[in-house]
Structure 1
Amino acid sequence: MADASNPYHSWLSQTLTGLVSRPSQAYSAKSVAAPPLQRLEPAMEWDWAPTGDGILGAAAYHFYDSMPASSDPDALFVSTGDSFSGNYLAFLQLLRSDFQPALTLKQTLSVAQQPQSDPASSPTPRGWTKILSASNLLQWAPDWCPAKTPQDWIQDVCSQPSPPAGSLALDPRAAFGGEVAPAASSLVQARTGTGRPVPLGFQPGELLSLNLSAQAWGRVPITPGAWYSSALMMLGRSGPFVEGRTPSQVFGPTGLLRCRVAEMVLAYKPSVQMRVSPSFASRHAATLGAATGLSVGGVPIQGAVQRPAFVPRKDSGPDGVTFQSTTASQIPVIVAVMLETFSAPP
């Protein structure tokens, strides 16, 4: 896991936020703040699609429904292992019996609770889906609705005359106030035949420039299904709650419902160009020559078949060596998430 306090992490997060910033319809509650971006390190391949009969893959469900450990935009995305839908149901159950409108709460609770029917032989209720458990048995799960499937998103970006390309360009001296760039122990990692990532440790001043680009960048909103009520979230922000619970224990940065994953930030066919000092190139020559893949800030770059993942360019010289990645993967990668945050009432 990367150190979120590392200056390279801050640069990646801030630059990526600027690259993909635009208004979104993914945020429904009026309590939402400006959406924080949290990077995934490592990034994840996005090749999830519903299987036959509308069954949602377990990996997709657990990612969409996961509760982030923090709503801090300076943090890396880490799942607590808790379920957002489970915490949402707990919030509904914490509202006191004298909550008004009582009928709205009753109806919302009935939709949010797991169906009692057998998922193997019953039609799927509105707002729910089926997933395969670890023991390969069907079970009910709250439905999550990404705006596009991976195939639809790829088709959309590839059919555009000018895909939403862009790059994250790093000039270390400019980024760090004209000082010699600090060491970067795990910013770039190589994968060799062993399959293990090998950090390419930079000494201060060895990284001269880095440009992480992609054929396309994009954002795909994720919305909860009919089991979720944004209206009840607003109506119930102030309680009243049972067991002496306060609104700040339910909402806000440390609350039960502090935030959720609202969008995936995607990269398609990422590549990297990196200029380094001759000392770095010499020290890592064997690893670079054998690398079949790379990871830059957690973004995976799969090398082209039967070619090194990193090849030196002809314009390299005594002042620096420029490496250009090759890429072969057709699968989009989730490089970050945008969060919807829920503030406690003032």
Structure 2
Amino acid sequence: MSDTRVYYRPIPQADGGRWRLAGGWTGFTLLERLQRGHAPVVVSEAPADVIAALTAPRVPVMGLAMDRPRLMGIVNATPDSFSDGGSYDAIAQSRALIAAGADILDIGGESTRPGATEVPVDEEIARILPSIRAMSGAVPVSVDTRKALVAQAALQAGAAMVNDVSGFDFDPDLPSVVADSGQPVCLMHAQGLPHDMQDDPRYDDVVLDVYDALQDRIARARAAGIRADRIVIDPGIGFGKTEAHNLAILRRISLYHGLGCPILLGVSRKRFIGRIGGAETPRDRAPGTLALSLAAVAQGIQIHRVHDVAEHAQGLRLIAALNENGRTGT
């Protein structure tokens, strides 16, 4: 990618602003002008097409309006999830997540934690179908898979979105499955495969490199026949990224609104939260996860993939109350 390319990151502000960010709850008046090899520059204007992409209201995802933050509850129907796989009944846990306030369930049968190995297709399907069938009538269900045959079975069982952590890099048949279904897809950025992605990840400029890679994934999805309004993006925190990479993306995550898609963020219980926050056990990382989620909400991020739904629902209620307009407190 040419070093002359210019990117614009909206600098969010909660109290109004000249423009609304993605038609949502956050505004902005100023932007950061970003370019490889140059220091960021704060500006008050950007090209018309940039402003149009940043301000266009996002269409609903699985019938859910993107005008407020949405919680995606994680259901790991696996025996080897880094966080909680194998320790509960997936259907019971799904119901508990809905009761806690989940807007969406993300059901997966293959761990993608660092070092994980691939699961056979038949086994992955067997793990997830009971939960998908049981839950698809309660809330929208996303299937967390990289594989076309798994996605096809899940969509037939009632899943309403495919969440592909490889961003269509793993299975060349998956784009056509999604296109034929007419359902949305979440395209995540990852560098490498789970078994080796954390060995030595490197970038020239991680924030801009991930932007370019997501833009390429969107273009491939469009070329496969997937409509633009059926695409969600995820910068892939922890997938082929060091702690420094993760923090750099989170500081400037509003940049990715320029791609014109709803944004999904998955930071829940990640290892770097434990290292920075002093929580060795994944289950003890809810406070750190909530802190990062709320910081991302302030940057207009629409979908938050989390384990600890009740804690996040409570946090979002408090933020919404603080941000209410027209109240004097009298």
Q: TM-score, normalised by structure 2?
A: 0.22
The structure, 1 or 2, with the larger RCO (C-alpha pairs under 8 Å, 6+ apart) is 1
Larger strand share, 1 or 2: 1
Structure holding more helix per residue: 2
TM-score between both structures, scaled by the size of structure 1: 0.21
